[in-house]
Structure 1
Amino acid sequence: MFAQIEKDLKILNINLNKMVGPRHPILYAAAEHLFHAGGKRIRPSIILLVAKATSRKEQLSNEHRRLAEITEIIHTASLLHDDVIDDCSQRRGLGTVNSKFSNKIAVLAGDFLFAQSSWYLANLNNLEVVKIISKIITDFAEGEIQQALASFEASISINNYINKSFHKTASLLAYSCKASAILSQSDQYTQQQFYLYGKHLGLAFQIIDDILDILGTYKNMGKLPGSDLKNGNLTAPLLFALEECPNLYNLIEREFDREGDIEYTIRLIKSTKGIEKAQDLAIENVQASIQALHNLPYTNQSIKNLILLSEKVINRMD
Structure 2
Amino acid sequence: MTPTQLRAFAATVRLGSVKAAAADLDVSEAAVSMHVAHLRKELGDKLFTRAASGLAFTPGGLRLASRAIEMLGLQDRTVLEVSQAGAGRRLLRLATSSLFAEHAAPGLIELFAGRAADLNVELSVHNPQRFGTLLVTRAVDAAIGPRPATLEEPMSCTTFLNYQVLAVVGTGHPLVSGRVGLPELRAQTWLLGPSAVGRIGMVPTVLRRINVPEENQRIFQSHAAAIEEAKHGKGVALAVAFAVAKDLAAGDLHQVVTPVLPARGSWNILTLPDRDAPPVAAELRRFVTTPRATQAMLKGSGVTAGRFRPAVHVTLWS
TM-score band w.r.t. shorter chain:
under 0.3
Q: Counting strand residues as a fraction of each chain, which structure ranks higher? A: 2
Larger proportion of helix: 1
Give TM-score scaled by structure 2 length.
0.25
**TM-score if structure 1 supplies the norm length?**
0.25
- Structure with higher Rg: it is 2
